[in-house]
């Protein structure tokens, strides 16, 4: 379903003929990076390949139901392999502490869908047309195995569902639905996955959302919505950093808001800033302007 299969075929042959892979998912992992990374990891295990899957940060409890989620380890516990594969990472900085593993690998691959990808790997398989990296991993796994297991289908459907806002964001296109339909045929259950991801919210996350929605500010004739959550706020509601996931979408949903900005204080005092838009506002360009 991708427009160009040459790169997918080349990666498939490489992964079949070699062994020893470190899959790296980005810092502050989301559903696409986790689902895509776990799908590739599961496929390599089915091929009896030596592999590991690494992330600097804790995986949100929301995604703990995915196959092998409990096998994602931190960089300090990972052994080095000849090949490192960055999944859903637009820039090397998104690897965090796992960058040491990436830099120390003999071969490096980047599989991503962001148009802003800096092409930091030796081989970069980047498809901006795809709404989620899960769409690219779908083609890769299908090419390698000739099939998609039901567990891998769950991982990839979750990846695509979350990165498209349950198929509602402007990045959703015909390819997205074609891949989702194929994943259903391979065993993904949309209703069950939707419930697990969106209808099973911890109390702490609900309270944090209530706080964020009661304290957000509107700027520039109410076209910009801004919400900030500090470490003190997280502690007040016994919430974790990943409990803030999704708040920005509620800010963007406000009628007058065209650009939503969400800022969350990290444990080291720095802030993670998220940007979302509706309409034709290019928040990716805004983010790049600030480095």
Q: What is the pLDDT, as a whole number, of residue 286?
A: 86
Q: Is residue 1 part of a domain?
A: no
Beta-carbon contacts of 259 under 8 Å, excluding residues fewer than 6 positions away, are 223, 224, 225, 252, 275, 276, 277, 281, 283, 286
Residue-wise burial string across 82-117, b where 16 or more C-beta atoms lie within 10 A, e elsewhere: ebbbbbbbbbbebbbebbebbeebebbbbbbbbeeb
Question: How many Å apart are CA 229 and CA 206, to the nearest integer?
Answer: 14
Mean pLDDT of 15-41: 97
**Residue 47: how many CB atoms within 10 A of its CB?**
13
Question: How many Å apart are CA 88 and CA 137, to the nearest integer?
Answer: 10
Residues 20 and 69 in one domain: yes
pLDDT per residue as tens digits for the range 222-262: 999 999 999 999 999 999 998 998 899 999 999 999 999 99
For residue 191, give the H/E element and its range: helix 190-198
Which structural domain, as residue segments, surrounds residue 12? 6-197
pLDDT per residue as tens digits for the range 32-69: 999 999 999 999 999 999 999 999 999 999 999 999 99
The number of residues making up the chain comes to: 291
- Domain count across the chain: 2
Q: What is the mean pLDDT of the chain?
A: 95
- For the domain that residue 47 is a member of, what is the CATH number? 3.90.1640.10
- The token pair that represents 51 in the structure block: 């592999």
CB of 36 within 8 A of CB of 137?
A: yes
Beta-carbon contacts of 4 under 8 Å, excluding residues fewer than 6 positions away, are 127
pTM for the model? 0.88
Instruction: State the pLDDT confidence band at 5, using cuts at 50, 70 and 90.
Output: low
Q: What is the pLDDT, as a whole number, of residue 170?
A: 86
Residues 36 and 90 in one domain: yes
Residues 185 and 225 in one domain: no
């Amino acid at each position: 379903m991708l427009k160009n299969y040459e790169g997918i075929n080349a990666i498939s042959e490489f992964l079949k003929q070699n062994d020893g892979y470190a899959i790296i998912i980005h810092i502050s992992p989301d559903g696409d990076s986790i689902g895509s990374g776990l799908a590739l990891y599961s496929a390599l295990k089915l091929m009896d390949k030596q592999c590991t899957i690494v992330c600097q940060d804790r995986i949100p409890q929301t995604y703990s139901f995915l196959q092998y989620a409990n096998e994602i380890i931190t960089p300090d516990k990972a052994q080095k392999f000849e090949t490192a594969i960055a999944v859903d990472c637009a820039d090397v900085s998104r690897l965090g502490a796992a960058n040491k593993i990436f830099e120390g690998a003999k071969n490096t691959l980047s599989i991503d869908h962001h148009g802003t990808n800096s092409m930091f790997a030796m081989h970069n398989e980047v498809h901006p047309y795809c709404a989620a990296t899960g769409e690219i991993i779908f083609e890769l796994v299908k090419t390698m195995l000739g099939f998609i297991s039901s567990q891998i289908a769950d991982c990839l459907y979750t990846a695509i569902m979350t990165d498209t806002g349950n198929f509602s964001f402007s990045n959703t296109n015909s390819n997205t639905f074609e891949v989702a339909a194929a994943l259903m045929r391979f065993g993904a259950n949309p209703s069950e996955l939707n419930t697990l991801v969106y209808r099973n919210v911890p109390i702490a996350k609900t309270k944090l959302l209530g706080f964020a929605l009661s304290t957000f500010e509107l700027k520039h004739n109410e076209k910009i919505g801004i919400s900030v959550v500090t470490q003190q706020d997280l502690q007040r509601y016994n919430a974790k950093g990943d409990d803030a996931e999704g708040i920005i979408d509620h800010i963007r949903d406000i009628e007058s808001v065209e650009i939503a900005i969400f800022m969350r204080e990290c444990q080291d005092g720095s802030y993670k800033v998220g940007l979302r838009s509706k309409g034709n506002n290019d928040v990716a360009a805004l983010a790049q302007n600030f480095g």
